[in-house]
């Protein structure tokens, strides 16, 4: 019943204003934890299994990715190439750094790249893991990923000033 607000940095770099609890938050890196929460909620509901593979849950991704499990995506032992190291991502950052890019486009940046390592053999953080989890959530629920975020995370946590940008 007690709310504690912690903050660091500034909300506005020009004025130096500190962030407020009522400020609007557009999801970025924090969405990774939310992706995990949504996926684990589906596991708890019996709609998804941690040992389910990409091939079982999502059509159209590279065959080399097919044996990667939900568990490996969530714990970053998948071996999927990290799209933030791709030429496509670098070009996006140069041309339109604030622009929204669709998940299929993001996957396209690394679609033809080989796995970095055999799935499950080691840990290496990959932003692509989180994109694929979001696509799997959509495939399993039939709902847009943003809707699942609202239902599972934003609503229960009362994150009224948090959004997931979806206009692509």
- Residue 40: both structure tokens together: 């684990």
Sequence-separated (6 or more) residues with CB below 8 Å from residue 48:
39, 42, 57, 70, 136, 140
Evaluated on CA atoms 76, 98, 100, 108, the torsion sign reads negative
Q: Give yes or no for a contact between 39 and 140, defined as CB atoms under 8 angstroms apart.
A: no
**Confidence (pTM):** 0.83
Catalytic residues: 29
Mean per-residue pLDDT pooled into runs of 10, the chain (168 residues): 79 87 65 88 97 96 97 97 96 90 94 96 94 95 92 87 70
Alpha carbons 139 and 148: distance in angstroms, whole number: 12
Q: According to the model, what pLDDT value does residue 97 have?
A: 85
């Amino acid at each position: 019943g007690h709310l504690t607000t912690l903050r660091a940095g500034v909300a506005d770099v020009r004025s130096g204003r500190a962030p407020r609890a009522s400020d609007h938050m557009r999801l970025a890196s924090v969405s990774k934890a939310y992706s995990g929460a949504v996926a684990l909620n589906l596991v708890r509901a019996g709609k998804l299994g941690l040992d389910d593979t990409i091939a079982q849950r999502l059509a159209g991704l590279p065959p080399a990715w097919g044996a990667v499990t939900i568990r490996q995506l969530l714990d970053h032992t998948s071996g999927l190439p990290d799209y933030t190291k791709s030429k496509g991502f670098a070009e996006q950052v140069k041309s339109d750094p604030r622009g929204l890019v669709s998940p299929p486009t993001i996957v396209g940046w690394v679609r033809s790249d080989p796995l970095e390592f055999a799935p499950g053999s080691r840990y290496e953080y990959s932003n692509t893991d989180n994109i694929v989890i979001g696509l799997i959530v959509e495939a399993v629920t039939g709902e847009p990923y943003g809707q699942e975020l609202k239902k599972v995370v934003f609503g229960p946590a009362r994150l009224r000033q948090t959004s997931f940008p979806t206009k692509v």
